[in-house]
Amino acid sequence: MHDFVLLLHSWVRWAAILTGILATVSAFGATTDARSNRWAMFFTIALDIQFLLGLLLLFTSVDFGRMGEVMKDSTARFYAVEHPTMMLIAIALAHMGRVMVRKALTAASARTKSLVFFGLATVLLLVGTPWPGMHDNRPLFRL
């Protein structure tokens, strides 16, 4: 089951990254209506799915019970502490951004809030993603 969840987590990341970029780019033409917030909704949905899959991976990991040893190994620490922390902050920013955009009084305010919140969430998503050549050379696409 762990391998299947890891496969799903690896593929859903592309949906999260793509929708994060689209939510940020679509902010340039943002208005306060619900249609302009569509990519933001898809972004938060993708992040929520990633979060649930990530929790399953984290809690079923063999490293979860031995945090003292994990903190000494930079690769294990990345997956047990740094990656989840960055992703949680990205999820919080995306959800806060969605609420702030809906409550914005003007289109300019909605646009600014979209750019800031979705942009920061997407940057954190990109920084916290394990890319090939980093840590343990995870593949771009798992099969």
| Tens digit of each residue's pLDDT (9 = 90 or more) over 10-63 | 999 999 999 999 998 888 765 555 556 788 999 999 999 999 999 998 888 766
- Which residue, chain included where needed, has tokens 């593929």? 11
pLDDT in tens, 83-142: 999 999 999 999 999 999 888 888 888 888 889 999 999 999 999 988 887 767 777 777
Domain boundaries, the chain: 2-128
Q: Does the pLDDT value for residue 5 go beyond 70?
A: yes
Read off the pTM: 0.87
Tokens of 64: 């979860």
